[in-house]
Structure 1
Amino acid sequence: MRTAGAALSALSLVGVAALAGCSSGDSGDGVSRNAPAASSPSVSPSPSASAASGWNPNPGSVAAVGDSITRGFDACSVLADCPEVSWATGSDSLVRSLAVRLLGTSKAADRSWNHAVSGARMVQLPEQMALAAKERPELVTVMMGANDACRDSVRLMTPVADFRASFEASMRQLRAGAPKAQVYVSSVPDLKRLWSTGRLNETGKKIWELGICQSMLADADDLGPAAVARRDAVQDRVVAYNEVLRDVCAKDRHCRYDGGAVFGFRFTGAQLSQWDWFHPSRDGQARLAEIAYRNITAAEPPA
């Protein structure tokens, strides 16, 4: 969901440079260091239920693919990835990422990998999947699609057929290298919900004017017919993308879709980055980790 850095570099002009970010676990050399965190109490299904479904609720390694959400972009400082707070593989003790919840802090440091790329769209997922497959992970998390809808105009959004073709190619790429890896697919977030929440903040709206997700966020206070139709078109496309994610995942016996849980989560201002009022904050990342952990350890997949 990251947009042009040139536009956002003007954030200091609207007074957000003074905002305090989350504390980072970065050592200064670009390598994340794990902060202490206890693993979550096990809520795994019984062995019989797990065997019957063919789903292992306790994978021993995690690889993440996706976009800027999974990279923790704008969660710790402006215009920067912060992978240590990633919902999927981060080490931050307050987020308690999926990897930490599943593996514990020490194992997560050695047995999780983040191949997500800020700004990535679905067409770039096959390359990420190929990298993930090389790790031979027991679980791969996928969160991709927001950038396909977040474009400078509705006309530039990724066609649904192309989105499907790229996701199918991604699954084939993974299966070529890791045929038995489990896959957890998160739904695309509700961009219209983010608009309705963020537009209540005057600073946030000024930041959006610099070029963030213009297909949805342009002219945030415009409630005229054209603006409403534009936002509805983006919303419809996101819904269509989520249907693709569900359908393609359902055809793979080792894949579990979140049932629309991320799309349905009602983000508040506390869960949005104070630098762009769009990406998840550290608190938002923690909520994403909770959703993923709950669905991965459930006896049955989400409805």
Structure 2
Amino acid sequence: MPDRSAGRRSRTTLAALAAVTFLGTTVLTGCDSGPEGTTKGAAAEGGRRPAAAPVWDRSPESVAAVGDSITRGFDACSVLADCPEVSWSTGTDSTVRSLAVRLLGASGAAVHSWNHAETGARIAQLPEQMALAAKEHPDLVTVMIGANDACRDSVRVMTPVADFRASFEASMRQLRSTAPKAQVYVSSVPDLKRLWSTGRSNQLGKQIWKLGICKSMLGDADDMGASAVARRAAVQDRVVAYNGALSEVCAKDPRCRYDGGAVFDYRFTGKQLSHWDWFHPGRDGQARLAEIAYRNVTAARPPA
């Protein structure tokens, strides 16, 4: 009769050899791992894919700007006029060293940056600006908007927070429809109350304010009565709410980075303000904004 026990021993031996061979192959393959422990051999044979590269690129090669008068350099060079060459985002002025210059160099910034911001713009106009920026197919879009939504003729007509949020969401959708991989750096709205407190010490600046700049905050600049104090507090609260909306909407997009309130928290002094209106950033203020942006754009992690 055939020796069945011998056959069973043979099959057991073959199974053991196969297991050893499999383990050996696995160990050898594991020694050839790529970043984040990814197995190159497994990826090549249809196994696990390599770990995805980080979504945020800290070295973008082109920059488009959207926003309002701050990004246009309003009142930084002459009274009641734009001066985009000193813009914190895309300017070419060597004393400011804009975000674009810091990222791309002076020659690169001159060719690969675009400024679609508009003086006086409110958030309702941002979707249109985003559409223009998207056509450039930039690596990075900078956003600074909201001051004019709070700076109105009266507190009563400030942009409602819900409308502000909806317009920013629409702006992000507009960008994503054309430039789905563009990164977005969102600046917080500056602390308008601090700008009032700093600028009201300058008599010339207060005369310019009377022309109609940010009446809700700057009107009757020396009035410290209960009504004026309450009015300024309402503007301040609205700015804080706007910044909350910017942060929350941005957080939903993996290619969007909010500044963590860095611009709102920055303690502007008279040195950083326009010597024409003592409210908008001058050259020095634009340079400080560029520093903040560059630090946050190139950071390994987004601001807390």
Bin of the TM-score, shorter chain as denominator length? 0.7 to 0.9
Say whether 1:259 aligns with 2:222. Answer: no
| Runs of 4+ residues over 6 Å off in structure 1 | none
Cα drift, residue 54 of structure 1: 2.1
Tell me what 2:7 maps to. none
Say whether 1:289 aligns with 2:293. Answer: no
Tell me what 1:64 maps to. 65
Q: Report the residue type matching 2:260 in the other structure.
A: G
Supply the distance in 2 between the matched residues of 1:164 and 1:235 (Cα, whole angstroms). 17
Tell me what 2:207 maps to. 206
TM-score, normalization: structure 2? 0.82
Tell me what 2:139 maps to. 138
Supply the distance in 2 between the matched residues of 1:90 and 1:57 (Cα, whole angstroms). 20
Cα drift, residue 222 of structure 1: 1.0
Say whether 1:180 aligns with 2:181. Answer: yes
Identify unmatched segments of 5+ residues in structure 1.
1-46
Tell me what 1:79 maps to. 80
TM-score, normalization: structure 1? 0.83
Judge conservation of contact 1:197–1:268 (CA < 8 Å) in 2: yes
Supply the distance in 2 between the matched residues of 1:271 and 1:114 (Cα, whole angstroms). 22
User: Partner of 1:94: helix, strand, or coil?
Assistant: coil
Cα drift, residue 248 of structure 1: 0.2
State how many pairs are aligned.
255
Written as runs of structure 1 = structure 2, the 5 A alignment for 1:23-172 is 53-172=54-173
Give the number of the structure with larger relative contact order, counting CA–CA contacts within 8 Å between residues 6 or more apart.
Answer: 1
Supply the distance in 1 between the matched residues of 2:108 and 2:225 (Cα, whole angstroms). 53
Cα drift, residue 210 of structure 1: 2.2
Judge conservation of contact 1:261–1:291 (CA < 8 Å) in 2: yes
Higher mean C-alpha displacement, 137-146 vs 206-215: 206-215
What's the CA shift string for 1:42-77, capped at 9, x where partnerless? Answer: xxxxx98xx764211000100000011000011111
Among the aligned pairs, what percent are the same residue? 81
Cα drift, residue 156 of structure 1: 1.0
Q: Which has the higher helix share?
A: 2
Tell me what 2:270 maps to. 269
Higher mean C-alpha displacement, 118-127 vs 220-229: 220-229
Tell me what 1:12 maps to. none
Tell me what 1:234 maps to. 235
Q: Report the residue type matching 1:80 in the other structure.
A: A
User: Partner of 1:104: helix, strand, or coil?
Assistant: helix
Supply the distance in 2 between the matched residues of 1:104 and 1:160 (Cα, whole angstroms). 38
Q: Report the residue type matching 1:87 in the other structure.
A: W
User: Partner of 1:140: helix, strand, or coil?
Assistant: strand
Supply the distance in 2 between the matched residues of 1:88 and 1:71 (Cα, whole angstroms). 9
Supply the distance in 2 between the matched residues of 1:207 and 1:166 (Cα, whole angstroms). 31
Q: Report the residue type matching 1:229 in the other structure.
A: A
Q: Report the residue type matching 1:66 in the other structure.
A: G
What's the CA shift string for 1:5-28, capped at 9, x where partnerless? Answer: xxxxxxxxxxxxxxxxxxxxxxxx
Supply the distance in 1 between the matched residues of 2:227 and 2:136 (Cα, whole angstroms). 47
Judge conservation of contact 1:53–1:300 (CA < 8 Å) in 2: no
Tell me what 2:46 maps to. none
What's the CA shift string for 1:214-262, capped at 9, x where partnerless? Answer: 1001111111111110000000000000000000000001000000000
Q: Report the residue type matching 2:286 in the other structure.
A: Q
